[in-house]
Amino acid sequence: MTPTARERRLRFALLATCCLLLALLAVLASKAVPLSEAVRLRNALHFDSAPAASFEWTPSARPDDFVVEDAPADERLLQAAAAAGVRPEAGDWANALAISSYLTEHAAGKGGIDDGLFVVLKKIREGYGACSDFTQAFIGIASASGLFAREWAFSFDGYGGDGHAAIEVFDRQQQRWIYLDVFNNFFVEDAASGRPLSAREFRDALKGDPDAIVIRKAGAGRPGFAYEEVLREYYRAGADEWYLWWGNAQLSREGGSLKAGLRSIHPYLARAYASIVGDVPDIKAVASATNAPQRARMERLRTTLITLVLAIAGTLILLVGLISIVHQIDREKSCE
């Protein structure tokens, strides 16, 4: 039977909609290649910025939207804390150094892990781990030990995947934040007083007077850089693109069986799922006049990404509707 003009229009619309969907998916995929750009997309979805003063809060007066760990301490984390030599009477800074030393003790640069918290804890002790693996493990053990830690990161490529992550611990005895780079196994002191510095003080020194600081090895294990000047130059290069992950609920983000199943297929499937369901904390960039172009680019990318996702969703709905109509017509014709 010769198709009617209406049927031809419907089938053409169906084909055009399929082509549009493929084109939109191709545009989205092109923005996720290489891997550093996929990280930038993830970051753009959760991106915000704030003045430097907005990061000077204390754990007892933290922002309401900073997502803190509220899950009970896991026995495996408590065992790791005990193995690290964490003792309540030692004080927060001493315990932070003990956890850092425990994690770097066998560090051998065998490659990143990018898995669930407890796999990361095991593999770090076998010599594996990238900077984000070390921050993940540190925050997990620290939370179980009663310490409050938050994760800083910086990038070299406009808040994309080329960068580094480290820790800042709140020392309740001194009532102040102290910066601790677990992966690279160092902290920073004021050259004059010997006082350990916060992330802000370290960042300000890098942009101002780098001779005002002294790099100190944090504990057991290899130093992250063989030469201190290389270390300093590395951090100076990223000094203008610091941002804070707006939450430390590491154990709570482990997720259920679905997330574990996706992670077993590929870690990035679990990451995508976490982004979709809102299981990833926001990031807040430290705003300054000099990083305004990079921040504006991220805001434009977020708008583009949301527009693409909405367009893909709308096209899928249209496609399903057209398929349903064509299928109904075919059924009616078969009954004639």
Termini Cα distance of the chain: 11
Q: Which DSSP letter does residue 282 get?
A: -
Residues 159 and 243: their CA atoms lie apart, in Å, by 8
| 336 residues of the chain, pLDDT tens digit each | 577 888 888 889 999 999 999 999 999 999 988 888 888 998 999 999 999 999 999 999 999 999 998 888 899 999 999 999 999 999 999 999 999 999 999 999 899 998 889 999 999 999 999 999 999 999 999 999 999 999 999 999 999 989 999 999 999 999 999 999 999 999 999 999 999 999 999 999 988 888 899 999 999 899 999 899 999 999 999 999 999 999 999 887 776 555 555 555 555 555 555 555 556 789 999 999 999 999 999 999 999 999 999 999 999 999 999 999 888 887 777 765
Residue 136 parent element (H or E): helix 131-144
How far, in Å, are 17, 96, 235 from residue 4 at the CA level?
20, 75, 68
pLDDT score for 5: 83
Domains of the chain: 65-238+248-255 (3.10.620)
Instruction: Look at residues 140, 169, 172 and name the one whose alpha carbon lies nearest to residue 152.
Output: 169
SS3 state of residue 163: strand
Please list the residues that pair with 152 across neighbouring strands.
166, 244
pLDDT score for 52: 93
Residues 50 and 206: their CA atoms lie apart, in Å, by 20
pLDDT score for 129: 95
pLDDT score for 261: 57
φ/ψ region of 312 (left if φ > 0, alpha if ψ in -120 to 50, else beta) reads alpha
Q: What is the CB neighbour count within 10 angstroms for residue 91?
A: 14
Q: Which DSSP letter does residue 235 get?
A: H
pLDDT score for 256: 55
Residue 280 tokens read as 């990833």
User: Residues with Cβ < 8 Å from 153, sequence gap 6 or more?
Assistant: 163, 164, 165, 166, 242, 243, 244, 245, 283
Q: What is the CB neighbour count within 10 angstroms for residue 14?
A: 17
Strand positions, DSSP E, 110-251:
148-155, 163-171, 176-181, 186-190, 213-217, 242-245
Instruction: Report residue 187: phi and psi, to 5°.
Output: -135, 180
Residues 121 and 102: their CA atoms lie apart, in Å, by 10
pLDDT score for 204: 92
